[in-house]
Structure 1
Amino acid sequence: MSDAVAPKKSWRPTRRQFLLGLGVGGVGALALGLPAMRLAVSRAVDEGLVPSSDPLDPTLWFEVLRDDRVRLHLPKVEMGQGIHTALAQIAAEELEVPWERLEVVHATTAHGPVDKQGTSGSMTVVGLYQPLRESAATLREMLRTEAARQLGVQASALVAAGGTLSVRDQPEKKLRYGEVVAKHTGTWEVPEHPPALKPAKDFQFIGKSMPRVDLEAKLTGQGVYGYDQRLPGMLYGATARPPRLGSTLRAAREGKARQQPGVVEVLMGSDFASVAAESREQAHAALAHLELEWTEGESLQQADVEARTTVKDGEGVLVQEEGDVPEHLGRGKQLSAEYRTPLAAHAHLEPQSALVEVKPERVRVWASTQMPGSIRKQVAKALERDEESVELVPTHLGGGFGRRLDAKAAIEAARLSRATGRPVHVGWTRAEEFRHGFFRPPTHHVLKASLEESGKVLAIEHQQASGDVIFSLMPGAVGAVMGADFGAWRGATIRYAMPHRRTLAQRVELPVPTATWRGLGLLANTFAVEGFMDELAHAAGEDPLAFRLKHLGDDELGRRFRRVLEAAAKQAGWGSAAPEGRARGIACSVDMNTVVAQVAEVSVESGRPRVHRFTCAVDCGLVINPDGATAQVEGGIMMALSSALSERITIKNGQVEAENFYDYPLLTMREAPEIDTLLVGEGDKPLGMGEPPMGPVAAAVANALFTLTGKRLRSLPLKL
């Protein structure tokens, strides 16, 4: 049963916000759902606050089954980041259930609306930590109350442990959770007051490196990814792609496509031409037999992209201002520098894919997506169906990184399924992924500063220009109203304690599709800001670590920065001589309220940078799973290092040049550095971890290369 409630601003749900039902997981099962409770969007992106979800969406679901298993339906998708394991630990902690009896599954839009915020932004564990604890604790107390009734004792006399409720002074008098559910009749009683949460000193799961809940399925091939999803009688779909950026379909005729082997349907609309066939190869081969006319599109060259992505002095949106920068920027010793970062691909291993089955009464979509709710809505719109008739089933994702927000594959499959009456699977090719997806936008940065005689920074300014990150996924009016993309200037503000500082962000409209990429603008902005900080340190004649420490405030953020900087430096051997032929560089950043400091140890081999060791100290608050947190650090460093050393999308004659990994090289295992991770955080709540380790990587490497070679590299990828 369910009652409508007004949206809440607090974390804690009311009794009437719990959705209770019997039989959801089978006869005699108890199912409980909790609406997502999030902090509202406020202040600035830098503060790491979590966007609000619709407070009426039941996005956390437990099922207690008769065999004592507890099934947790999660609204967030697992794409290798380990969130299902961390969330399971949080749930098991309050529910007092054995680890081996807790199952985790993706929620589907039919079971309970998935989180409309999707899975992105390092916000999953942060946003669900408190709601999940409260939900699990509430379910525990509901079971306690019912067990007390069945045993004829006071609820306060029962102890919950190991999935069992036993009488404190009579331990032989007990009921397992499954027994409580099986014997229950009538209505479940929801606690009148929020239940007490377990104190940290009693944690059994939180803070421990528990084994990943998805590991066995992935190791044994049982975990299903969107590209692998199959149904009996299914077809494969393919859609024609434009020859150049900006080209649109002017006219389309079937030609001889329908006569090709295996072809079942040729479907054309005002802006698409698609084929459904018995195999993927047949579908793609038939595309060559369509007769298509395209508009000319963009005759864009690489130089055009860089020319358009250029800071215009004094323009843009003011996103940070403290003191009077114009008044003080011309005093003392003055420095300026320009930094650039290029277009970059997501390069995830699994291309875009979706399987759709359209039937008169309902539509089912299986997709590798970070945004189940959004994809469902877009498929319903494309089919002109009621959204409630569309069910989206999230699968495992072969990498996300912001690329899995796209609905194209699902829409293409849905159209073909409706036309053929059979399930249709669309899986993009690698060339489609590289040439027709969207990219991390290019950026340009102009930094200026003035130094006092004491070597302290008096004034500093960061002007940044970037293509769209978030705005490209929003209605056009948003960009016109806000002026600068808040995703693009993530990490751009100056977080050191300097008296006069300001940041301006400029939006650049490009004919190249750009959007979200892991960390949004974090890597590019931190590369510029921390590279410039290193330049200032050398200009002041000071050690780069000491220079940073000198510019930290006495507030909480300053203390946290100091903790990670000193920890990373000590572990890396900062201040001692590096091995022969090597040098060290340091950089730091704060993102999603997580503070990171990194030291890179580099050399030059055959004229190319080589990174041998990375030391990373992270303050991410309460660590739920140390092994999972360490994996996120290692993965973030590897991805950012690959971007820093080799990745670059280039444009020639209006087309993306790369079409596969052979012309878009990634960091190899041989090139992977040794990584030391230090988790030095404090606090009673977790902070974001998926993206913050990306921030300082490129700057730390560039700073080390300067120390080694005397050459300041201000553009990515780093080339000597």
Structure 2
Amino acid sequence: MKRRTLLLSGLGAAGALLVGFGALPPRSRLGLADTLAAHEGEIGINGWIKITADGGVLLAMPRSEMGQGVHTALAQLVAEELDVPLERVRLIPAGFEAIYGNVAGFVGQLPLTPRQMEPGQETTVAKLGAWTIAKLARELGINMTGGSSSVADAWEPLRWAAATARAQLMGAASLRWKLPRAELALKDGVISHPSGAHAHFGELAREAANTPPGEVLLKPRAQWRLIGQPALRQDLPAKIDGSARFGIDQRPEGGPLLFATVRHAPMLGGAPGAVQVDAIRQQPGVLRVVLLPPYAGGHTAIAVVARTSWHAMRAAQQIETDWQPRPAGPLDSEAIRQALMTSARRAADGEDGFAFRSEGDAAQALASAAKRVEALYEVPYLAHVAMEPLNCTARVKDGRVELWLPTQVPGLARAVAARVAGVAPEDVDVHVSYLGGAFGRRLEADFVGQAVRVAMETNGAPVQLLWPREEDTTHDFYRPAGAALMRAGLDAAGRPVALQVGTAGDAISPRWMERVLPALAGPIDMPDKTTSEGVFDHPYAIAAQRIAHAATHSGVPVGFWRSVGHSHNAFFTESFIDELAHAAGADPLAFRLGLLDGLPRHAAVLKLAADKAGWGQVLPIGRARGLALHESFGSLVAQVLEVSLEQGRPRVHRIVCAIDCGTVVNPGIVAQQMEGGAIFGLTAALYGRIDIRDGVVQQRSFPDYKLLTMAEAPVVETHIVVSENPPGGVGEPGVPPVAPALANALFALTGERRRRLPFA
């Protein structure tokens, strides 16, 4: 109870205001008929839906498509409630109205445990926190694609928007034909009556826009035809035939497109000195050189503008300058690693850090335990290395800015562009393209500021700024390095009675807020849930525990990376649980199940994965299994990995994944995301690391930042638990369990416990 009191009372007067604010009714996210821009033959019904003259449905899409299938899943919600074929729903860009803000993404940041949030058993603190944060997020209206929250956030607003439109269309038909609404039928976008009267949506849309909806009801689950069924992803045909337009493919009309690239200092935090601009401008195809100040948390850089991207990159490689080092001194990842281990121990000892969870007297229970276990775990910095390098196409002309870019945060990108160009946000147009990967890197806007600054020098011509792969890798906002000291005490029967954990690593959210919210005065330092998620909120029943995190300030730029804190904290927690099972002489599966009292969903997922993987069955000599269970982003995932060693290196042959993500909209997309997440997590577990020496990132591109190859990829099987709970996330939850399941399999195979990533 101490932690919960701190979270609320620490807000002081602001906390009282939030509680009062929480008593106000929530603001509607439906929007108005004129929210969407008017076009000939298109009739707005509400802020999400327009009807075309031929009866098609236009859905305002505020979320970015980066391969996670969200455009298809959200279209399925609308097609279901409007009872139209999925192919009749087309997407149009959403504006910047607050109704499109991501509410679920902010609610997901509440520092709550599974036992506080279990559906149907939520505590008062959980309900109050979710209610208050949801309405605060609704007022902020920040449009963000991240946190595996897109479907969870759209689950109610989009279905209600479509159901309301359906009610208005049915009402318009009833009024036109003077027939009772109850006698009308709707199928495939056509409303009909037994008398023979019928009309498609396009014929009724204008009247429907002015017809009160009356009572609005969502379709009952038993009548669903699209939700829960696999459907072809709407983005795939264009990606297969090459017609899909990513950020790097943009070719705006209105003048020849110019190209630019950037060059940063080799060392993090460095800056260029004097540059021989004339020498660079004499290079073939080069038009100008622009010095770029740091934008949105980025670093000072030099941009070269040329007629082609090849000319720009070739010239940028020829830049000669006296690179100035970081004023605070060079960064070194080995020195940071040593400091993290010290900080983690201090946090475990109660000498440093914020306790995200404190129940009972962990120190006393540990001291009196029959057996004590202690282990130190470490993880390195990681880069995003999305397949499509950072890019942004910009035009600054006649007091307006136009952007074409792959971004997860179009509103924040617009705000940065407006500040750089000195215009109002309303004078910035943003066109969001497909994203060729992101994994959190495109939650940043440093490259947007650079592109706008360059475009201010091109006399109204559009310019496409493209980062070379080497700049992308060596000047990322990295997944933080981290360390965890784990201690536990077991009773005579081998059951855990105490857990004492200290973790250390940079906090992401405060640094990100400083970058994207420059109006905030001074640095932000507050407990950041992402630093401890996956540790403090573990599901296991242990009477006495204290879990604390020491937020460090390494100086390395850090940012959100796929599954954020869960990406490494699951490795700490699930590896250590396996160590406790071994210390207790228990089977890892049975040991976990014995600690999941009162959490039947967790137990069911774990049992399903184990059953489908053949847990306990004999494997060929030289192979072993390891398992892990983890909850993140509202979903439960258990994985079993089947592993061997080939020439001393780990080889994963099979991954069996079970997931409870609540109500499933598209099971095909769920399976795809589990497969992609497993491969992503396995790549990081085997190979991922960023080393910094004398301030310089040593890894520059794919030859030295290795990715898993197709030949190394295991078979991934996905098994979905049937659930009637609201949807959880699927884009990220497949990542966290991979590393600990691999570590546990390697221990079963070799008897050696590996506590430091990467393994290969």
TM-score (norm 1): 0.90
Q: Which moved more, 1:142-151 or 1:312-321?
A: 142-151
Given candidates 674, 679, 696, the residue that maps to 2:715 is: 674
Which residue of the partner structure matches residue 232 of structure 2? 211
1:300 pairs with 2:300: no
Equivalent residue number for residue 45 of structure 1: none
Instruction: Work out the CA distance in 1 between the residues paired with 2:399 and 2:268.
Output: 39
Equivalent residue, structure 1, for 2:132: none
- Following superposition, the deviation at residue 595 of structure 1 comes to 1.2
Q: Is residue 22–residue 28 contact of structure 1 (8 Å, CA) maintained in 2?
A: no
Shift of the alpha carbon at 1:549?
0.8
Q: 419, 440, 446: which is aligned to 1:402?
A: 440
Could you list the per-position Cα deviations for residues 365-414 of structure 1 after superposition, in whole angstroms to 9, with x for gaps in the alignment? 01111111111100111111100000111100111110112222222221
| Aligned-partner SS, 2:284 | coil
Q: Which residue of 2 aligns with 1:273?
A: 302
Structure 2 counterpart SS, 1:334: strand
Amino acid of the residue matched to residue 161 of structure 2? S
- Are 2:629 and 2:636, in contact at CA under 8 Å, matched by a contact in 1? yes
Q: Does 1:429 align with 2:463?
A: no
In 1, the alpha carbon distance for the partners of 2:95 and 2:268 equals 35
Name which of 352, 363, 366 aligns with 1:326: 363
Q: 2:174 aligned with 1:174, yes or no?
A: no
The alignment status of 1:190 with 2:212, answered yes or no, reads yes
Q: Helix, strand or coil: the match of 1:425?
A: strand
Task: Provide the identity percentage.
Answer: 37
| Offset at residue 133 of structure 1 (A) | 0.4
More displaced 10-residue stretch of structure 1: 387-396 or 574-583: 574-583
Question: Following the alignment from structure 1 to structure 2, what is the Cα–Cα distance between the partners of residues 479 and 500?
Answer: 38
Q: Is the 8 A contact 1:256 1:289 kept in 2?
A: no
- Give, as a single letter, the amino acid of the residue that structure 1 aligns with 2:213: P
Q: Which moved more, 1:93-102 or 1:518-527?
A: 93-102
What secondary structure sits across from 2:165 in the alignment?
helix
Equivalent residue, structure 2, for 1:150 = 176
C-alpha contact 1:316 1:484 (8 A) present in aligned 2:
no
What is residue 715 of structure 1 aligned with on the other side? Answer: 756
Tell me what 2:312 maps to.
283
Distance of aligned partners of 1:509 and 1:118 in 2 relative to their CA distance in 1, 3 Å threshold? same
User: Any conservation in 1 of the 2:190–2:201 contact (CA below 8 Å)?
Assistant: yes
Q: Does 1:553 align with 2:597?
A: yes
Q: Which residue of 2 aligns with 1:317?
A: 354
C-alpha contact 2:372 2:487 (8 A) present in aligned 1: yes
Task: Give the CA deviation at 1:312.
Answer: 4.0
Distance 2:209 2:46 in 1: 15
Preserved CA contact (<8 Å) 1:18 1:32: no
Matched, 1:244 2:281: no
1:12 and 1:157 map into 2 onto residues whose CA distance is 34
Out of 80, 83, 92, the position equivalent to 1:96 is 83
Q: Deviations over 1:649-704 (max 9, x none)?
A: 11122211111101111111111111111101412421111111212111111101
276-285 or 513-522: bigger deviation: 276-285
Confirm or deny: 8 A CA contact 2:262 2:467 kept in the other structure.
no
> Are 1:342 and 2:380 counterparts?
yes
- In the alignment, is the contact (CA less than 8 A) between 2:143 and 2:410 conserved in 1? no
CA shift for structure 1 position 470: 2.0
Distance in 2 between the 1:288 and 1:697 partners?
A: 39
In the alignment, the residues of structure 1 paired with residue 88 and residue 447 of structure 2 have an alpha-carbon distance, to the nearest angstrom, of 36
Range 151-160 or range 561-570, more displaced = 151-160
CA distance in 2, matches of 1:186, 1:93: 19
Q: What is the Cα deviation at residue 75 of structure 1?
A: 0.5
Residues 150-193 of structure 1, C-alpha deviation per residue, up to 9 Å, x if partnerless?
Answer: 223233332221101111x32x2100111113xx3696123254
Q: How does 1:405-484 map to 2 (within 5 A)?
A: 405-420=443-458, 421-475=460-514, 482-484=525-527
**What is aligned with 2:59?**
72
**CA 1:113–1:523: 2 relative to 1, 3 Å:** closer
Structure 2 partner of 1:40: none
Matched residue of 1:240: which SS? strand
Aligned mates of 1:211, 1:589 — CA distance in 2: 29
Separation in 2 of the partners of 1:114 and 1:280? 35
Q: How many residues align?
A: 679
- Cα distance change on mapping 1:385 and 1:112 into 2, 3 Å: farther
**Structure 1 residues 716 and 592 mapped into 2: Cα distance closer, same or farther (>3 Å)?**
same
Matched, 1:523 2:567: yes
**Alpha-carbon deviations, 1:116-155, whole Å to 9, x = none?**
2410001110011011000000111111122222223233
Deviation, 1:238, is 2.0
Question: Does structure 1 conserve the Cα–Cα contact (< 8 Å) formed by 2:168 and 2:209?
Answer: no
Distance 1:381 1:481, change over 3 A: closer
1:684-695 to structure 2, matched below 5 A, reads 684-695=725-736
The 2-side partners of 1:11 and 1:258 are apart by 60
Task: Please tell me whether residue 258 in structure 1 is matched to residue 281 in structure 2.
Answer: yes
Taking structure 2 as the reference length, the TM-score comes to 0.85
Pick the structure with more helix per residue: 2
The answer to whether the aligner puts 1:635 opposite 2:659 as a matched pair is: no
**Aligned in 2, Cα 1:481/1:269: closer, same or farther, shift over 3 Å?**
closer
> Is the contact made by 2:174 and 2:181 (CA closer than 8 Å) also made in structure 1?
yes
Partner SS, residue 93 of structure 1: helix
Task: Describe the superposition over 1:276-308 as per-residue Cα deviations: whole angstroms up to 9, x where unpaired.
Answer: 111112223333565644322243333213123
Q: Secondary structure of the residue that 1:693 maps to in structure 2?
A: coil
Cα contact 2:169–2:208 (8 A) shared by 1: no
1:329 deviation in Å?
Answer: 1.0
Give the structure 1 partner of residue 39 of structure 2: 26
Q: Following the alignment from structure 1 to structure 2, what is the Cα–Cα distance between the partners of residues 67 and 715?
A: 60
SS in 1 for 2:503: strand
Mean CA deviation greater in 143-152 or 362-371: 143-152
Confirm whether residue 379 of structure 1 aligns to residue 417 of structure 2: yes
8 Å CA contact 1:316–1:483 kept in 2: the answer is no
The alpha-carbon distance between structure 1 residues 127 and 434, as it changes in their structure 2 partners (threshold 3 A), is same
Contact 1:122 1:690 in 2 (8 A): yes
Distance 1:361 1:114, change over 3 A: farther
Q: In the aligned structure 2, how far is the partner of 1:225 from the partner of 1:692?
A: 26
- Give the 3 Å change call, closer, same or farther, for CA 252–546 of structure 1 in structure 2: same
Residues 331 and 556, structure 2, Cα contact 8 Å, conserved in 1: no
- For the structure 1 residues 289 and 335, does the alpha-carbon distance in structure 2 shift closer, same or farther, using more than 3 Å as the test? closer
Secondary structure at the residue paired with 2:529? coil
Check whether the contact 2:264–2:272 (CA below 8 A) recurs between aligned residues: no
Task: Could you tell me which runs of 5 or more consecutive residues in structure 2 were left unpaired when the two chains were aligned.
Answer: 1-19, 103-141, 294-299
Comparing 506-515 with 428-437, which one deviates more in the overlay? Answer: 506-515
Paired position in structure 1 for 2:74 = 87
* CA distance in 2: counterparts of 1:151 and 1:710, whole angstroms: 77
Aligned 8 A contact 2:356 2:547 in 1: yes
Tell me which residue corresponds to 1:128.
Answer: 154
- Deviation for aligned residue 1:111: 12
Contact 1:138/1:190 (8 A) holds in 2: no
CA distance in 2, matches of 1:362, 1:506: 45
Inter-partner Cα distance in structure 1 for 2:208 and 2:170:
16
Say if 1:484 and 1:506, in contact at 8 Å, map to a contact too.
Answer: no
For the aligned residue pairs, the C-alpha RMSD in angstroms reads 2.3
User: Quick one: distance in 2 between partners of 1:290 and 1:685?
Assistant: 54
> 2-side partners of 1:107 and 1:395: how far apart?
13
Q: Deviations over 1:568-600 (max 9, x none)?
A: 111111111122210111110111231111111
